[in-house]
Amino acid sequence: MGMDVELDRVTMRFGDFTAVRDADLTIRSGEFFSFLGPSGCGKTTILRMVSGFIEPSEGAVRIGGRDMAGLGPNRRPTALIFQNLALFPLMKVWENIAFGLEVRGIGKAERRKRAEQLLELIALPDQADKLVTELSGGQRQRVAIARALAVEPEVLLLDEPLSALDLKLRQHMRAELRAIQKKTGVTFIYITHDQGEALTMSDRVGVMSQGVIEQVGAPDQIYSEPHTAFVATFVGENNPFSGRVIEVAEGYAVIETSRARLRARNRENLTAGDSATVFVRPERCLLLDGAQSDTALPDNTLVSEVERVDLEGAYVNLFVRGDQGRSLIVHLTNDRDLSKLSTGQQVTIGFSADAAVALPSAAEARSAAA
C-alpha cells in the first residue's frame, strides 16, 4: 500500500512572507519520513499543502504521480492527525475510530468490525465501549491514529502529535508509532521539532530552516554527516570552532581558529581563505589526561580550563573554555575520579580529523546555537 509523495519545486507565500521556498523532494511509498526544524521553519506548511488545506504558490504536489492541484482534503488519499487529536469526547472509542466510515455511508456492523480490527492493531482490544475521556494520553493518541487509518489512506500526515505528552510517554509512543507504520505499510509524514523523535522513528529526515529544506538523509547521515552549519548545530550537540581555511588537501581542511589550528573533513569543497566552522560532537572529544607523553596524539589538541563538571549518573559532561566565549563540551563515562577535575584546572582535549567536519560558516548556525 502507498504512493510516492512528490514536492516539485514547491513554494508557499503568504503576502510578502515566503514560508516554503523551492521544496524539491520525493517521499517514497511506505516510508516513515520526518520534517525536522524549529518553529516557523515551514514544516507544517508543507504538511498542509500535501493534505490539501492550502495550495502552493508555485510548484506541484503529486501523490502516486497525480497532480493534487484543485483537490481538497476529502478528495486526496491522505489523512491528517492534528496536535490536539480532535477526538469526540461524547463518543465511545469505537465510534471515534469509525466516524470517517460513517460519513462514507458504511453500515454500523461493518464499522464496528473495522474499529475492533484497528483496536487490535493499536493494542487496545478491550477499550471499544469506553469514552475517550476515560483513556490515558497515550491511549487517546493511538485512537487518533486508528481513526485516521480507518479510512485506509495511502499517506498518513502527523503534525507534532506527541508534543502534549510527558517525556516517558513520548518515548514509549515513538516505538508504538514506528511499529504501527511497519505493520500497515502506510506512508507516514511526520512533523516535529524534537530531534529525538525524528532520529528514532524515521527512515529519512528532512531538516528545515527558514522555509528551506537544508538536508535530507537517513538519521545516521543527518547526525554524522551534516551538510550545513545549521544542520550541524540543530541536530544534536556540537562543538563549533570558527576561523579561516589556510590549507586543503586530500579531503581535509586546516582551519585557523582562536583556540588552535584544527584539521577536519572537507565535505563541502572549502578552499583556502574561506570562512569556515569546524564541528565536533562531544562524544568524539577525548580528555587526554596527560597520556600524550606515551600515546600518539590525535590530529587536533588544545589546552583549556575546566569551567564545570556535570554528573548525569553513568555519564559526565565536562565543560571547558571553548571558542569565542562558548563552552566546549566533552561527554565522558563515569568511570574516573571526578575530584581530579576542578574549576580552573588546565586540561588537554583532543579529537581526530575524521571525527570533525569543516563547513561554510553561516549566520543561521550562530542563531541556532544561541
Q: What is the DSSP string of 2-17?
A: ---EEEEEEEEEETTE
Fold of 5-224: Rossmann fold (3.40.50)
What pLDDT does residue 370 have?
41
pLDDT, mean of residues 353-369: 71
14 and 199 Cβ atoms separated by less than 8 Å = no
The rounded distance, in Å, linking the Cα atoms of 69 and 143 is 31
Question: Quick check: 364 pLDDT over 50?
Answer: no
The span from the CA of 78 to the CA of 8, in Å, is 18
Specify the pLDDT at position 59: 97
Q: Locate 146 and state its grid cell.
A: 486508528
What is the rounded distance in angstroms from the CA atom of residue 258 to the CA atom of residue 197?
Answer: 36
Question: In the sheet where 300-312 sits, what is the strand order?
Answer: 286-287, 346-351, 300-312, 315-321, 327-333
- Top pLDDT among 224 and 323 is at 224
| CA proximity to 37, closest of 295, 246, 211 | 211
If you average pLDDT over residues 31-53, what whole number do you get?
Answer: 96
- Cβ-based neighbours of 120, under 8 Å, separated by 6 or more: none
Query: DSSP letters of 51-120?
Result: HTSS--SEEEEEETTEE-TT--GGGSSEEEE-TT----TTSBHHHHHHHHHHHTT--HHHHHHHHHHHHH
Query: What's the pLDDT band for 137 if we cut at 50, 70, 90?
Result: confident
Can you tell me the mean pLDDT for 159-188? Answer: 85
Give the model's confidence band at 155: pLDDT under 50 very low, under 70 low, under 90 confident, else very high: very high
pLDDT, residue 307, reads 94
Backbone angles phi and psi of 114, in degrees to 5? -65, -40
Q: What pTM does this model have?
A: 0.87
3-state secondary structure at position 168: helix
Q: Is the pLDDT of residue 149 over 80?
A: yes
Distance separating alpha carbons of residues 204 and 208, to the nearest angstrom: 13
Query: What is the structure's pLDDT at 362?
Result: 67
pLDDT score of 197: 92
The residue behind cell 507534532 is: 160
* Cβ 84 vs Cβ 144: under 8 Å: no
* pLDDT value of residue 366: 43
pLDDT at 14: 96
Bridge-based pairing state of the strands 155-159 and 187-192: parallel
CATH level 3 topology of 243-369:
OB fold (Dihydrolipoamide Acetyltransferase, E2P) (2.40.50)
For position 338, what pLDDT does the model report? 73
Query: Domain-by-domain residue ranges, the chain?
Result: 5-224, 243-369
pLDDT at residue 295 tops 70: no
**Cα 283 to the chain's mean position, in Å?**
19
Q: Which of 170-184, 190-204, 354-368 has the lowest mean pLDDT?
A: 354-368
Cβ 118 vs Cβ 130: under 8 Å: no
**pLDDT over 60 at 2, yes or no:** no
Over residues 314-318, mean pLDDT: 89
pLDDT (mean) for 194-206: 94
Is the model's pLDDT at 293 over the cut of 50? Answer: no
User: In this predicted structure, what is the pLDDT of residue 335?
Assistant: 79
pLDDT bucket at 369, cuts 50 / 70 / 90: very low
**d(C-alpha 307, C-alpha 21), whole Å:** 42
